[in-house]
Amino acid sequence: MAKGLRKGLTSYGDAGFSLFLRKAFIKAMGYSDDALERPIVGITNTYSDYNPCHGNVPVLIEAVKRGVMLAGGMPMVFPTISIHESFAHPTSMYLRNLMAMDTEEMLRAQPMDAIVVIGGCDKTLPAQIMGAVSVDLPTIVVPVGPMVVGHHKGEVLGACTDCRRLWSAHRAGEIDEAEIEVVNERLAPSVGTCMVMGTASTMACVSEALGLSLPMSATIPAPHAERVRLAEASGKRAAEMAIAGSPRPSEILTPAAFRNAAIVMQAIGGSTNGLIHLTAIANRTEHALDLAEFDQIGRDVPVLVDLKPSGEHYMEHFHHAGGLPRLLMQLGDLIDRTALTVGGSTLGEIAARAEIVPGQDVIRSVEDPIKPEGSMAVLYGNLAPRGALIKHAAASSRLLQHTGRAVVFESVEDMAARIDAPDLDVGPDDVLVLRNTGPRGAPGMPEAGYLPIPKKLGRQGVKDMVRISDARMSGTAFGTIVLHITPESAVGGPLALVRNGDMIRLDTTARRIDLLVDDAELERRRAALPVVPPPAWTRRGYARLFYKSILQADEGCDFDFLVGSDEL
């Protein structure tokens, strides 16, 4: 099989000419024949002025290149899409599959023997991993790393759990305009990803647990020199993999690797988005993720990492306590220690080498967990025939068993228009329902599942209510929130049938979410549902592709034509 520059020649009907032309053009950049004969490590560049989370990418790229050259390889950097959570309209999730396609096709189109993907902001690592898994060249994932923490009035602050908490306090009149402006400057004090256990941190931990990143990749703070050295080491290892032709993602991503990642997700109090992304990654292989197994793992695996939003600390504290290797050590036989990683060690060998940090209280033992069960539970019931998710580790325990009256919002716009209305008929024991916010309905499943507490209740001191939707929520959010109701209302899921005043029962122990309306009435309501034509936004372009191809949350929200591996 051809290697390096000879791979994947552009088609002119004459292979010799194709190589001649390729070399003629690349020599315009000043490369020597010696350089061009080396195995190539392709390095993705997701730097963007719109993406502050990736602000250290140029430094990391230089370090990866240095590592590749130290090991005798030839680094070649190329751009792909970059997505920042708060600069992506309508949602970053809407663009994840576009980034996965861009990454996959550029990896396929250009000659390379191994890949280093550098990313981190929420949807970027999932997109990059999905693309790389489908291409199945030897791949190392280098997360950009979390931000360092901020400080305000003696309090430690972090994006974006504290963004939400302090904004809620501002809405409730507890923080004035001047102070919220000061807070705004202190929530994100460095480049890097959100430093709580949001989606970015979750997916960095998942990548390390899957064996796709070198040890400590998930937790080293973005501005630290240690991260630059990790990038260099990743480049070096990628060059070795380019020469050897292995290990490929298909050799790393076994059922055991996916199970390990699911265990880690539960033990870190991971983001609910992580389950969608892990499902999408698994569906690119031969090993689908089983939601029932994920729930069972949640019953067996305690939350051990004390991080916001379900705990107290931040990613840099997790790092200084020993990072993911130390967590793997604490998980002991719960994980499959024989699973292979890109560095060449097994997960068990990495766990055995974990640093022992005296007195640390961020990574607990199984005997002294933060929560006795994992962070997430999968719910079923007549409201969610194909499942829904609750992050009960970040919920109010008194609301985990709750029956309340539905207060229904038809869309994000409807909710924004009415949630703070003084005459809204709502009480603290009601269940807030938001629909038409699923993968297809919104589109891109906005992180609107964290419905704000209506202002008039917030002013009475109400901090949490049961909220249910077919939306997602940020991994940095907290509350008693049922998400990802599947099928979504826009494709006729039962959420479309709920009416104001209906009673809804959440029974987290029994893993149920039910609408307490009899079947005959539900059938009458279903028959009366209007037929909705495709909305105007689906007329052309990527939006049209998205509308026609997007899968539901239980399938990872990938496009239907991207699932599976080439071998299937």
Sites of contact with ligand FES (CB under 6 A): 53, 84-86, 121-122, 160, 193-194, 198, 200
Cα separations in angstroms, 111 against 29, 256, 284, 526: 16, 31, 22, 53
Shortest Cβ 165–ligand FES spacing (Å): 15
Residue 510, helix vs strand vs coil? coil
**What tokens does 505 get?**
């029962």
Nearest residue (CB) to ligand FES, 122 versus 240: 122
Nearest residue (CB) to ligand FES, 85 versus 554: 85
Q: What is the DSSP string of 462-481?
A: ----EEEESS---TT--SSE
Q: How far apart are CA 438 and CA 496, in angstroms?
A: 11
Give just the sign of the alpha carbon dihedral 83, 88, 92, 95. Answer: negative
Q: How far apart are CA 75 and CA 89, in angstroms?
A: 33
Nearest residue (CB) to ligand FES, 86 versus 549: 86
Cβ partners under 8 Å of residue 452, min gap 6:
168, 171, 419, 420, 458
Nearest residue (CB) to ligand FES, 53 versus 433: 53
Nearest residue (CB) to ligand FES, 195 versus 239: 195
Q: What is the DSSP string of 259-284?
A: HHHHHHHHHTT--HHHHHHHHHHHHT
Nearest residue (CB) to ligand FES, 55 versus 493: 55
Shortest Cβ 204–ligand FES spacing (Å): 10
**What tokens does 325 get?**
């290797």
Nearest residue (CB) to ligand FES, 52 versus 75: 52
Shortest Cβ 173–ligand FES spacing (Å): 27
Q: What would the 3-class secondary structure string for 68-93 be?
A: HHHCCCEEEEEECCCCCHHHCCCCHH
Nearest residue (CB) to ligand FES, 121 versus 133: 121
Nearest residue (CB) to ligand FES, 111 versus 311: 311
Cβ partners under 8 Å of residue 28, min gap 6:
none
Shortest Cβ 93–ligand FES spacing (Å): 13
Shortest Cβ 475–ligand FES spacing (Å): 9
User: What would you measure as the largest C-alpha separation in the chain, in angstroms?
Assistant: 77
Cβ burial, residue 400 (10 Å; 0-12/13-18/19+): middle
Nearest residue (CB) to ligand FES, 195 versus 216: 195
Q: Are 456 and 424 in contact (CB under 8 A)?
A: yes
Shortest Cβ 340–ligand FES spacing (Å): 28
Nearest residue (CB) to ligand FES, 82 versus 436: 82
Q: Are 198 and 318 in contact (CB under 8 A)?
A: no
- Residue with the two structure tokens 């076994």: 254
DSSP label at residue 305: B
Query: In the sheet where 139-143 sits, what is the strand order?
Result: 74-79, 40-45, 114-119, 139-143
Q: Are 15 and 82 in contact (CB under 8 A)?
A: no
Nearest residue (CB) to ligand FES, 39 versus 52: 52
Rounded to 5°, the CA angle 233-238-241 comes to 130
Shortest Cβ 429–ligand FES spacing (Å): 33
Nearest residue (CB) to ligand FES, 191 versus 378: 191
Shortest Cβ 38–ligand FES spacing (Å): 34
Nearest to 319 by CA among 227, 207, 212, 187: 227
Q: Are 142 and 60 in contact (CB under 8 A)?
A: yes
Cβ partners under 8 Å of residue 216, min gap 6:
208, 226, 230, 319, 323, 324, 325
Q: Side chain identity at 249, as an amino acid letter?
A: P
